[in-house]
Structure 1
Amino acid sequence: MTCDLIVQDALSPSSSQTQARLLKHLTDLLLTTLLDALDLDLSAAGRRRYRQKHIRTYIETRLHEPDLTPQVIAAAYGISARALYLLFDGEPGAVAGWILNRRLERIYKDLQSSELISLNIAEIALKHGFRNAAHFSRRFRQKFGVSPRDVRPKRLIG
Structure 2
Amino acid sequence: MDVDTRVVPANERYDYWHESVCDHFVPLLVTPASRNLQGRIQAVKFADTHVRRIAGTEHRFQRREQDIRRGGDPEQLNIVFVTHGSTVVEQDGRSAALHAGSFAFYDSSRPFDFRTRENFDYTIALLPKNRLDLPEATLRGCTIRPRSARTGVGRVARRLISSFAVPGREALGPSQASAIQDSLLATVRPLIAVDEPSIDASMFRVMARAYIQQRLADPDLSPRAVAAACGISPSYLHRLFDTEPQTVAAFIREQRLRTAAELLTSPAHRRDSIAKIGAACGIVDPASFSRMVRSRFGASPRELRRGASVRFI
Q: Using the alignment, how far apart are the partners of 2:276 and 2:228 within structure 1?
A: 29
- Taking structure 2 as the reference length, the TM-score comes to 0.34
Secondary structure in structure 1 of the residue aligned to 2:245: coil
Q: Does 1:106 align with 2:275?
A: no
Q: How do residues 1-158 of structure 1 correspond to structure 2 at under 5 angstroms?
A: 38=193, 42=198, 47-153=200-306
* Greater fraction of residues in helix: 1
User: Contact 1:41–1:47 at 8 Å: present in 2 too?
Assistant: no
Using structure 1 for the length normalisation, give the TM-score: 0.66
SS in 1 for 2:283: coil
Distance in structure 2 (CA, Å) of the matches to 1:79 and 1:88: 13
Q: Which runs of 5+ in 1 are unaligned?
A: 1-34
Decide whether the 8 Å contact of 1:130 with 1:136 is kept in 2: yes
Fraction of identical pairs, as percent: 38
Distance 1:40 1:147 in 2: 50
The answer on whether the counterparts of 1:66 and 1:131 sit within 8 Å (CA) in structure 2 is yes
Q: CA deviation at 1:86?
A: 0.5
Question: Per the alignment, do residues 90 and 143 of structure 1 end up closer, same or farther by CA in structure 2, a change over 3 Å counting?
Answer: farther
Aligned partner of 2:240: which letter? L
Conservation of the 8 A alpha-carbon contact between 1:85 and 1:94? yes
Structure with higher RCO (Cα < 8 A, 6+ apart):
1
The alpha-carbon distance between structure 1 residues 40 and 129, as it changes in their structure 2 partners (threshold 3 A), is farther
- Structure whose residues are more often strand by fraction: 2
In the TM superposition, residue 112 of structure 1 has moved relative to its aligned partner by 0.7
Residues 118 and 40 of structure 1: CA distance in aligned 2, closer, same or farther (over 3 Å)? farther
- Partner secondary structure for residue 200 of structure 2: helix
Larger Rg: 1
What is the CA–CA distance in structure 1 between the aligned matches of 2:200 and 2:241, rounded to whole Å?
13
Q: Are the aligned partners of 2:278 and 2:289 in contact in 1 as well (CA < 8 Å)?
A: yes
Using the TM superposition, give the Cα deviation of residue 80 of structure 1 relative to its aligned residue in structure 2, in angstroms.
1.6
Which blocks of at least 5 consecutive residues in structure 2 are unaligned? 1-189, 308-313
SS at match of 1:53: helix
Q: In structure 1, what is the Cα distance between the partners aligned to 2:196 and 2:300?
A: 44
Please tell me the residue identity of whatever aligns with 1:66: P
Amino acid across the alignment from 1:107: A
The alpha-carbon deviation at position 153 of structure 1 amounts to 2.8
Q: Which amino acid in 2 is paired with 1:142? A: S
2-side partners of 1:109 and 1:48: how far apart? Answer: 30
SS of alignment partner, residue 64 of structure 1 = coil
Q: CA RMSD in A?
A: 2.2
Note the alpha carbon deviations across 1:8-56, whole angstroms, 9 max, x for none: xxxxxxxxxxxxxxxxxxxxxxxxxxx8x939974xxx82222111111
Take 1:146 and 1:90, find their aligned partners in 2: how far apart are those partners?
31
Partner SS, residue 91 of structure 1: coil
SS at structure 1 position matched to 2:292: helix
Q: 1:145 to 1:69 in 2, by over 3 A?
A: same
**How many aligned residue pairs are there?**
116
